Amino acid sequence: MSSKKRFLSVMVFIAVFGMMSVLVLNVSSYASNTDDMKKVVLKIGNETVTNKTYSLKKGKKATIKVSVTPQKAVKSVVFKSSNKNIATVSEKGVVTAKKVGTAKISVIVKDKNGKNKSMWIKIKVTGKASTDAEQSNESTEMEDPEPTPIPNPITIKDHIIEYDSNKIYGKIYTPEKEGVYPAVIMCHGYNGVGTDFVKECTYFAQNGYIAYAFDFCGGSGRSKSSGKSTDMTIFTEKEDLIAVFKNIRDLSNVDSDNVFLHGGSQGGLVAALAAEELADEVKGLMLYFPAFNIPYDWTDMHPDIDKIPEVISWWGLDLGREFAVSLHDYKTFEHIGSYSKNVLILYGANDAIVKRSYMDKAKEIYKNCELIVYANEGHGFSPAGVDKAKEELLQFMQKSSNLT
């Protein structure tokens, strides 16, 4: 690529990020859309039956009513029976009890933004049809509902880590019940903070993991850790992460053989570099749209080291000259790939910051790597994308730890 084309590419890169930077790894900044579903409730008669078991006499019918808030958000509703021999369901949600047994009726509601919400009702078909007197109450006949799982209680505390002359601020999320748990360490992206991962950390702790999210030293204008942004580089962040890993690994309630690293965007690059150094000590590596392109882009932007200024204002943060100098001619894929345990990469097909080719190259060089591409996501997942991603991460950790 010519220098001119590279310059134009970088300018587009900057413009796109200027519009998107408030979105990257900060799900709370996403504005609510009036076409998004806020709530979906399933009813039969006046009874709420979402994710419950409903009894219906053989030969009888009942209609599933779908209530969506806001109602105008609905684009389509699809009903499906797991066993049509036991119970069928029409396009309008009319269930017909065919044979004694239990069938699961799945209900998929799609909103105008293309997002889906899935629910279910179990139809338990009982014996012969009831008498006329019994039939009058049939629409409200219910078994004891299956209990809705209650999230396990957790504790959230500040956790400060000191190493050399640095002080790292973070929050640790821990299952309330006393025990020894696997752990996951979350690394934010450029100009981000640890609280970008509140949703994931809460979810992991509720599911039996200790989660720690922290601020890199000088890594953000909002960082609560020590250090100035003009002293921060990719490699100082790597050293921060290694110090964090050793501290969390050695906690008395952490299973030291089951500690995972997670990173998003620039934090993904940092996590990948740290995993190379920590090697088998890291149980698994999980990445949101890792910015493996950063060294290449910075070399293109500053081809002449002698002309790099002392301070570079970049995407809302003042960086020191060393940030650019340390990346000059640094080739990411010559420094990652030897980590041999499981790697999971989650990437949005609409990512305007990191090209898909970087993800494909990473999948190629890692020995055990899974790449999952979300069709309607970009660089910085939507709230719905985060919900899906955190479930993928939990399944990955459980599988890697043989906890499923």
Does this model's pTM top 0.85? My answer is no
Give the dihedral of Cα atoms 145, 55, 94, 105; nearest 10 deg.
50
Domain spans of the chain, in order of start: 42-140, 151-400
pLDDT at 343 exceeding the cut of 50? yes
Q: Give the list of residues 6+ apart from residue 28 with CB closer than 8 angstroms, or none.
A: none
Measured CA to CA, the distance from residue 128 to residue 101 in angstroms comes to 12
Q: Are strands 65-69 and 154-163 parallel, antiparallel or unpaired?
A: unpaired
Q: What is the pLDDT of residues 299-316, one digit of tens each?
A: 999 999 999 999 999 999
Grade residue 9 by pLDDT with cuts at 50, 70 and 90.
Answer: low
pLDDT at 12 exceeding the cut of 70? no
pLDDT at 279 exceeding the cut of 50? yes
Phi, psi of 113 (to 5 degrees): -95, 5
Q: CB of 254 within 8 A of CB of 290?
A: no
Query: Edge-to-edge strand order for the sheet containing 154-163?
Result: 154-163, 166-175, 210-214, 181-187, 254-264, 284-288, 343-348, 369-374
Grade residue 127 by pLDDT with cuts at 50, 70 and 90.
Answer: confident
Give the dihedral of Cα atoms 301, 305, 309, 315; nearest 10 deg.
30
Least confident of 90-94, 262-266, 312-316: 90-94
Fold of 151-400: Rossmann fold (3.40.50)
The residue assigned the tokens 């219910």 is 142
pLDDT at 148 exceeding the cut of 60? no
Q: CB of 138 within 8 A of CB of 130?
A: yes
Q: CA dist 60 to 97, 142, 176, 195, Å?
A: 6, 14, 47, 52
Determine which helix (DSSP H) or strand (DSSP E) holds 256, and give its type and residue range.
strand 254-264
pLDDT at 223 exceeding the cut of 50? yes
If you average pLDDT over every residue of the chain, what do you get? 87
What is the percent of the chain where pLDDT is above 70? Answer: 85
Fold of 42-140: Immunoglobulin-like (2.60.40)
In this structure, what DSSP letter does residue 143 have? P
Q: Are strands 284-288 and 181-187 parallel, antiparallel or unpaired?
A: unpaired
Grade residue 77 by pLDDT with cuts at 50, 70 and 90.
Answer: confident
Least confident of 5-14, 98-107, 191-200, 370-379: 5-14
The residue assigned the tokens 């998107």 is 20
**pLDDT at position 326:** 98
